Amino acid sequence: MGVDKKLLFGVDDSNFSRQALAEIGNLQKNSPNFKITIFHGASDSNFSCMARMLKLSPDELEKHRQLWSLEDKNILKKAKETLTKSGFDPKRIATFFEQGCNDPSESMIKLAGSQGFETIAVGRWGATTLSRQIMGSVTYRLANMADTPAIWIMDPRIRSHDVLVTLVGAQISHRVMQYTLRYFAHLKKNRFTFFHVIPAPPSHIWNYGSIREKDNFEEQQKKIKRWLEEKTDKVKQIADEGRQRLIKAGVPEQNITLKLKPQKQGIARDILKELETGKYGIILIGRKGSKKIREFQFGSKANKLLYTSRTLITCIIR
């Protein structure tokens, strides 16, 4: 028996969130020990104005409260039905309703911490997302909160189950690789690409302006080569471990690729280009690591990935 993989999915009464939940069901229905808890938080409505306007008695007001609460709980019922229709085992589905929830993102973070959820997932949009907005407010807050579990930002129209795993030469890449194996190794018919953008050497390595003799130039070339080898060797080791473990899990070797590409437009833009041209539906990135990987937090150049890309699941690993 393997260790349970527990995911907490935040849902509201929108088609977007239910479609995103169905995508998770399609993705994980054949994943052993994968369990989903569907969360919905309802804020306390102010019934005092209603009571005054309609001249409701306390008993009548309580009936209205109960009907309102029932409607909120029906959101969970519809979500569970959607997930079950996707083929996900209903025995692996739980629901959690929170009355008086004024901040669903904070509530989900607390629930994940108290009940050991490794992953929180939300749709990119929700019922209150304006058409001009790229992302819902709850999704935005979850992606920006520090010390959170892994976050899945779900687009309801995933283009494929092919996986792009971004790696850097930092410790976070080990966690990204481990997470990939734990949550996606069951996708035996899909492509796995370990992808690394080789950053440009720092100025003290390539400063040719101070080189005036041929011997110094050749020495500088050797330094650049050693620096690049040092950076790529770490990534190669991580990718090789991932390759071997994916093969052991049953993924055909020909479905696993390592791509090392020199930086051209910038790390975020280069990964975005690979994401689009490769038609991946799932991308895993580290929340923190090297200086460059911070581009993948909301704000800055992360907009090029999290705000521009569509038809994918973005998995942000802490």
Summary mean pLDDT of the chain: 81
Please say if the pLDDT value at position 282 is more than 60.
Answer: yes
Residue 255 to residues 32, 164, 186, 276, Cα–Cα distance (Å): 21, 12, 13, 18
pLDDT digits (tens, 9 = 90+) for 218-274: 777 777 777 777 778 889 999 999 999 999 999 999 999 999 988 888 888 898 889
DSSP conformation class of 185: T
- pLDDT above 90 covers what percent of the chain? 42
Alpha carbon of 300 to those of 76, 132, 293: distances in Å? 35, 20, 11
Angle at 276 between CA 178 and CA 279, to 5 degrees: 70
pLDDT digits (tens, 9 = 90+) for 262-280: 888 888 889 888 988 999 9
**Alpha carbon distance 296, 203 (integer Å):** 24
Percent with pLDDT over 70 in the chain? 74
Please state, in angstroms and rounded to a whole number, the distance separating the CA atoms of residues 52 and 305: 50
CATH superfamily of the 159-313 domain: HUPs (3.40.50.620)
Q: What are φ and ψ of residue 208, in 5° steps?
A: -70, -15
pLDDT at residue 266 in the model: 82
Query: Would the pLDDT of 146 be above 70?
Result: no
Measure the CA dihedral 20/26/27/33, to 10°: 110
pLDDT at 241: 95
| Block residue for tokens 């309609």 | 54
Q: Summarize pLDDT for 148-205 with one digit per residue, the tens.
A: 789 999 887 888 999 999 998 677 889 999 999 999 999 999 999 999 988 877 666 6
- Please determine, for residue 130, whether its predicted confidence score (pLDDT) is greater than 60: no
Average pLDDT over residues 41-48: 64
Model confidence at 102, pLDDT cuts 50, 70, 90, reads confident
Is residue 290's pLDDT more than 60?
Answer: no
pLDDT for residue 92 = 96
- HSE on the CB side for 171, CA within 13 Å? 1
pLDDT at residue 300 greater than cutoff 50: no
pLDDT at position 20 is 93
CATH 3.40.50.10800 assigned to 1-157 = no
For CATH 3.40.50.620, the residue range(s) in the chain are 1-157, 159-313
Residue 105 corresponds to which tokens in the numbers above? 């993102």
Q: What is the pLDDT of residue 299?
A: 37
- Which pLDDT tens digit goes with each residue over 62-94? 655 565 566 778 899 999 999 999 999 999 999
